[in-house]
Amino acid sequence: MSEANINPGKINSGKVSPDTGFNSSSVYQCAHECLLCDEPAVKVAKTMALFEQWTEGKLNCDISVEEAENKVERLVNPGRPSKPILVSPRDLPKRSAFSDEGKAALIHSLAHIEFNAINLALDAVYRFRGLPAEYYTDWLQVAKEEAYHFSLLAEHLNDLNYSYGDFDAHNGLWEMAIETDHDVLVRMALVPRVMEARGLDVTPAIMEKLEKAGDQRMVEILTIIQHDEVGHVEIGTRWYRHFCEIRGLSPFEMFKSLLEKYLKGGVRGPYDIEMRKKAGFTDDELLYLEQVGTK
């Protein structure tokens, strides 16, 4: 299950010790190093180590002269393995979850979402700089938990004699990351509060389907993921409102404006109202989503 937010306290600005596995004491550069890892097992291990190093105060979020000269890169292609092959969502075949292959394909799609979610959380650290230390604590915790989720799903795939990369996948989550890489407020509004919040809506039905298919282990894994994802969306909501407040913006009006600009078809429903409320959505936001969304 998710852990409580950890305050890193006083961040040490000195060089990290050689046994950290990172080449920098900057949390931005360490997150970038994790982002570029294309081997899933290495990315998971380094992400876990990154969270540990940060919470132990061995990394810093200072903007030094050297750091200022390291321009933030637009990452069209973050670190990922050569497989799965990325295709358009319309080109992904529909399979029954009640066949062995269909169930494995469904679990694979969930693993791919979690792998992308690791990169999304790391990018939120690498890309947006000079923010409160608590922001980096939150998103490194999210990265760590997404890495854990991916590990659970990849291990279960292996138990079914499949591996991550055996099926094609799409790149919708990362495409939204690219569209929102210019502004942390826009990123918080549209990635955790739209793309990831959609998982809160659909996971209960997936759990029911897998339970009927006799996969109790997947039900247990999705229970963990659903619990943690509520916290991840809540983190996005909290920071979205923080950035609206310091810019003097109405969170509700700004959210509507961003949805109209970036998701002209609305956010697909139906919505899990209870889970979204736990994640910080207001009644006004939920009513608006139901009015403009598609079923």
174 in any annotated domain: yes
Nearest Cα to 126, choosing from 2, 7, 29, 238? 29
1 in any annotated domain: no
CA torsion angle 50 55 61 66 (round to 10): -50
What is the Cβ-side half-sphere exposure of residue 25, based on CA atoms within 13 angstroms? 17
180 in any annotated domain: yes
d(CA 172, CA 220): 26
Which residues lie below 8 Å from residue 115, measured CB to CB, with a gap of 6+? 40, 43, 80, 150, 164
Nearest Cα to 191, choosing from 225, 231, 153, 240? 240
Number of domains observed in the structure of the chain: 1
d(CA 71, CA 129): 11
Its pTM stands at: 0.90
Nearest Cα to 132, choosing from 288, 293, 278, 7? 7
pLDDT at site 8: 31
Nearest Cα to 213, choosing from 146, 160, 163, 170? 160
Nearest Cα to 153, choosing from 108, 193, 191, 197? 108
Would you state the structure tokens that stand for residue 213, as one six-digit string? 């298919």
Phi, psi of 291 (to 5 degrees): -75, -35
d(CA 206, CA 203): 5
For the domain that residue 256 is a member of, what is the CATH number?
A: 1.20.1260
Would you state the structure tokens that stand for residue 222, as one six-digit string? 């999705």
**CB-count exposure of residue 112 (10 Å: 0-12, 13-18, 19+):** buried
Would you state the structure tokens that stand for residue 175, as one six-digit string? 């495409």
Q: 């939204």: which residue's tokens? A: 176
Which tens digits make up the pLDDT trace of 146-155? 999 999 999 9
pLDDT at site 14: 36
For the chain, the distance separating the N- and C-terminal CA atoms, rounded to the nearest angstrom, is 31
CA torsion angle 79 263 226 187 (round to 10): 50
Phi, psi of 86 (to 5 degrees): -95, 130
5 in any annotated domain: no
212 in any annotated domain: yes
d(CA 84, CA 141): 26
238 in any annotated domain: yes
pLDDT in tens, the chain (295 residues): 333 333 332 223 333 333 447 888 999 999 999 999 999 999 999 999 999 999 999 999 987 645 555 678 899 999 999 999 999 888 788 888 778 999 999 999 999 999 999 999 999 999 999 999 999 999 999 999 999 999 999 999 999 999 999 999 998 889 999 999 999 999 999 999 999 999 999 999 999 999 999 999 999 999 999 999 999 999 999 999 999 999 999 999 999 999 999 987 678 889 999 999 999 999 999 999 988 866 5
pLDDT at site 23: 81
13 in any annotated domain: no
Domain that holds residue 105: 21-292
Tell me if the bond preceding 270 is cis, omega within 30° of 0.
yes
12 in any annotated domain: no
